[in-house]
Amino acid sequence: MGVPSVMVLPLLIVVFAGVYYVYNEVMRFMSKSMVRNKVVVITDAVSGMGNECARLFHEGGARLVLCGPSWDKLESLYDSLCSGSDPSKTFTPKLVLLDFSDMENISEVITEIGECYGCVDVLICNSSMKVKAPVQNLSLEMDKTVMDVNYFGPITLAKGILPSMITRRTGQFVLVNSIQGKLALPFRTCYAASKHAVQAFFDCLRAEVEEYGISVSTISHTFINAVAENGAPSKTPPTNPLWAYISSKLNTHGVSPSSLAHEIVRTVNRQNREVLLAHPMPWVALYIRSLLPSFFFAVVAAGVKDGAMDEQLK
């Protein structure tokens, strides 16, 4: 008995989704062995995404250097990673106090990071300071602080670690950036400017260090939605793992810390040059910005009054 023609397309979608799900599960399993013994530095490891990223790399056997502005939070993360972990399969993380809003001691911090394991294989620049306000309400001091955290801090750290990577002729930089490094929106002048600047720096760096065997990856994502990860309290999460995976892909409201952390691990393993994590609206906006800039500017200007467009594109 043949399959009705009307059922062919849904069946193909389910089959391809199943194959894609299995492929991702296999790659996630393989990624744990691929990061083993690598020295991985994570800035702002105490953030929600930083916590998830640290957990994945720790489980994979990486030698972690966890950086953050709060020593108490770093110690709490340290305890959570070490409790219950197998010492024969994991390394005890190193902790380094790092606050990009205070650039006076950055050279000492770079030295401390280098001394943890003697080298750095992967630097994950995750720090970010978000500001949303009309331009006339932002002081120049605030602009400078945002630039320190989002631009000068990451590039200073990258420049400090780069000579060692060049000497060893290996290494990887991973910039966890915002989609606003590609798409500027109203009320985020200094934030978008800092994200554009750091994106440009690492794009240039990629070409300059390729001859030394050093890779540079950038991950541009929409807003991080911790609520989406936990799900709405009124909804029961799918029990079937395949359907849960499909449902997560259909969710268009931001990216969860867990999804972003898994993407970072994949990016480290595959050494992808550029990754864009976004739901359809930002993708469309990026194309319109390139192909029909006048139309894009008119829509964004109208969105300032409406507010709805701005929220969709964030």
> Which residues carry out catalysis?
191
- The residue among 100, 130, 205, 223 whose CA lies nearest residue 162 is 205
The first and second tokens of residue 272, run together, are: 């992808």
CB 304 within 8 A of CB 310: yes
CB 24 within 8 A of CB 2: no
d(CA 120, CA 37) in angstroms, rounded, equals 11
Give the Cα-Cα-Cα angle 160, 164, 168 (nearest 5 degrees). 155
The secondary structure of the chain as a DSSP string is -PPPGGGHHHHHHHHHHHHHHHHHHHHHHHHHHHTTT-EEEETTTTSHHHHHHHHHHHHTT-EEEEEES-HHHHHHHHHHHHTT--TTT--PPEEEE--TT--TTHHHHHHHHHHHHS--SEEEE-------S-GGG--HHHHHHHHIIIIIHHHHHHHHHHHHHHHHT-EEEEEEEEGGGTS--TT-HHHHHHHHHHHHHHHHHHHHHGGGTEEEEEEEE--B-HHHHH--TTSPPPSSHHHHHHHHHH--S-B-HHHHHHHHHHHHHHT-SEEEE--HHHHHHHHHHHH-HHHHHHHHHHHHHH-HHHHHH-
d(CA 173, CA 120) in angstroms, rounded, equals 10
